[in-house]
Structure 1
Amino acid sequence: MTPSPLGRAFQDLRAGWGQRELWGHLGWQDIRQRYRRSLLGPLWITISMAVTAIALGILYAGLFGNPLEEQLPYILVGFIVWGFISGCVNEGSEVFIANEGLIKHLPSPISVHVFRLIWRQMLFFAHNLVVYAVMLIVFPQPLTWRSLAAIPAFALIVLNGAWVALLAGIISTRFRDLTPITQSIVQLMFFLTPIVWIYDDLINSPNPDVADRARLAEFNPFLHFIEIIRAPMLGADQQIRHWLVVLAITVVGWVLAILVMRRYRARVAYWV
């Protein structure tokens, strides 16, 4: 019996997951090729991120009058998480375009390329955690057993990165203008998301106008993704609303991605 289009979409995901050895190897190769002949390899990304975070931490600590030991860890963890999120979105929008040769000549599920992308971003995230470990030595945080919530939080972010890459990748393959638009939106959202500025400081501002404007950040979905993992990594109290929003986005996002796969999955090979 021939599976339905919806069944083929799920079959694609299962088959792609089953080819873990393939996309795992390709993900490693991506990193090795990108930093071939480089002495430090992927650590250049980590060093660059650390230098930028430290510079902004010093700058914004002075601007907002916050202690450096508070501002710098906040920014540093925000940068680490944002690097993973923005990488999934930006590279996800061209995940199939960038793999045109493999798609045309290697018969494999399209989800393989998405899993490869997510795996590569996870490796970059793991490299950046080296800076987080150093930060914990220089600026110790009040970590408790509740800080382990960062693990399921990261798992949720990974799940969302996968559906975003699937959805944006398929649409961008058909409409090529979407890729630069997506990258511009991600760049804009960096400034609208509390990564270098502390959200609670503005919410509790004595100026009611500033506090009201800061509350508009609640409509920014990136805020909730950042906070579900940054709070436990810094030993801060967690807010249930962030988890609820992220869970809702995860469910809705995967439903949309499956529906788009159901209808357009087979056309990706022709669009590239």
Structure 2
Amino acid sequence: MHATSTVSAGGDNAANASATIPAKSDSRSWARAFADLKNGFQQRELWSHLGWQDIKQRYRRSVLGPLWITISMGITALGLGLLYSQLFGSEIAAFLPYITTGFIVWHFILGCLTEGADTFISNEGLIKHLPAPLSVYVLRTVWRQMLMFGHNMVIYVLVISVFWSEISRPGYVITEGGIPQPGLNWSALLAIPGFALIAINAGWVVLLFGVVSTRFRDIPQVISSLINLLFFMTPIVWSTDILQKRFGDTVSWRNLIAELNPMYHFIQIVRAPMIGNQQSWHHWAVVAGFAVVGWALALVVLRNYRARVSYWV
């Protein structure tokens, strides 16, 4: 009787001990991370509608509405194009298309960086009340930036229409004494896969920086502080021809300022075909490499911290 009671007590203790051991959580799993991305893409109507509503809300009750995106971009590109073409001794017919396309691509990258860092923070209400995958908010941000890119392309079409005869001419130069360019031709279609590659990178940038920024709220301020430096360090309002004319073809850190800047490669894979500039495979290789490494990091972050975002925002 005593032995039976002991065995019974031992069994109860073992059962209680097993009951107190928490079940292993599967929130940190690759399956859930990939399911989040899959479900996010499947809810296309949700994030596309939210992205378009963001733009409409921003310009609500204005007469021109989203056209203000195009107007502000056009004024900025025109003003800086006129100024820097004179500073660098460039023909406005060659330099204005160069600076305009650079601005258009830069604006897309800039939006993904700055607004991407605030993606989950700005969607706090929806995240806490709407049972949607995190990737929905990532796609919402990227889609909104793509819509703004489409609006800005109106400026590109206008500039190309005005200066077509100059930039379609083989051998034209951006700055005086610069490298002759092949001219605008059918290779301009390469801008489409180039922009698609940038958009793929935009996905991991928004996801990675968005999650990290919910935990460390200083990240958006750090990005905003570095934006102006990145802008002037990137060949947008100046051309790499200037470095070669100033320092020659010798390999030095001064000549590598542009090559060591990732933003230059991102802009060049779209800008070069759009204005008939020389294209190099290494720009594509760098951007593709960033896509692979960036998405690897973003997926690790999504796997480990996806469930915590709702508590951090």
User: Cα–Cα, structure 1 residues 209 and 63, in superposed 2: closer, same or farther, change >3 Å?
Assistant: farther
CA distance in 2, matches of 1:46, 1:251: 32
Deviation at 1:200, TM superposition (A): 2.4
Residue in 2 aligned with 1:157? 198
For the 8 Å contact 1:204–1:211, the answer to whether it is kept is no
Of 100, 106, 125, 2:130 maps to: 106
Residues 112-131 of structure 1, C-alpha deviation per residue, up to 9 Å, x if partnerless?
00100111100000000000
Of 224, 249, 259, 2:300 maps to: 259
Q: Which has the larger share of helix?
A: 1
Residue in 2 aligned with 1:47? 71
Q: What's the RMSD between the two structures over aligned residues?
A: 1.7
For the 8 Å contact 2:247–2:254, the answer to whether it is kept is no
For the 8 Å contact 1:202–1:211, the answer to whether it is kept is no
Query: Is 2:243 the partner of 1:233?
Result: no
Calculate the TM-score normalised by the size of structure 2: 0.83
User: Cα–Cα, structure 1 residues 98 and 4, in superposed 2: closer, same or farther, change >3 Å?
Assistant: closer
For the 8 Å contact 2:247–2:255, the answer to whether it is kept is no
CA distance in 1, matches of 2:249, 2:48: 51
Deviation at 1:186, TM superposition (A): 2.0
Of 89, 101, 108, 2:113 maps to: 89
Deviation at 1:237, TM superposition (A): 1.7
User: Cα–Cα, structure 1 residues 209 and 64, in superposed 2: closer, same or farther, change >3 Å?
Assistant: farther
CA distance in 2, matches of 1:106, 1:31: 21
Q: Aligned with 1:37: secondary structure?
A: coil
User: Cα–Cα, structure 1 residues 167 and 3, in superposed 2: closer, same or farther, change >3 Å?
Assistant: closer
Deviation at 1:205, TM superposition (A): 2.8
Residue in 2 aligned with 1:132? 156
Amino acid at match of 1:242: H
Gaps of 5+ in 1: none
User: Cα–Cα, structure 1 residues 12 and 45, in superposed 2: closer, same or farther, change >3 Å?
Assistant: same
Of 198, 202, 227, 2:243 maps to: 202
For the 8 Å contact 1:202–1:210, the answer to whether it is kept is no
Please, which moves more after superposition, 232-241 or 90-99? 232-241
Q: How many residues align?
A: 271
Calculate the TM-score normalised by the size of structure 1: 0.96
Amino acid at match of 1:169: G
CA distance in 1, matches of 2:265, 2:197: 11
For the 8 Å contact 1:159–1:250, the answer to whether it is kept is yes
CA distance in 1, matches of 2:248, 2:278: 24
Q: Which has the larger radius of gyration?
A: 2
Q: Relative contact order, CA 8 A, sep 6+: which one is greater?
A: 1
Please, which moves more after superposition, 138-147 or 167-176? 138-147
Query: Is 2:311 the partner of 1:270?
Result: yes
Of 197, 205, 208, 1:167 maps to: 208
Of 44, 47, 54, 1:20 maps to: 44
CA distance in 2, matches of 1:60, 1:78: 14
Residue in 1 aligned with 2:261? 220
Gaps of 5+ in 2: 1-25, 169-183
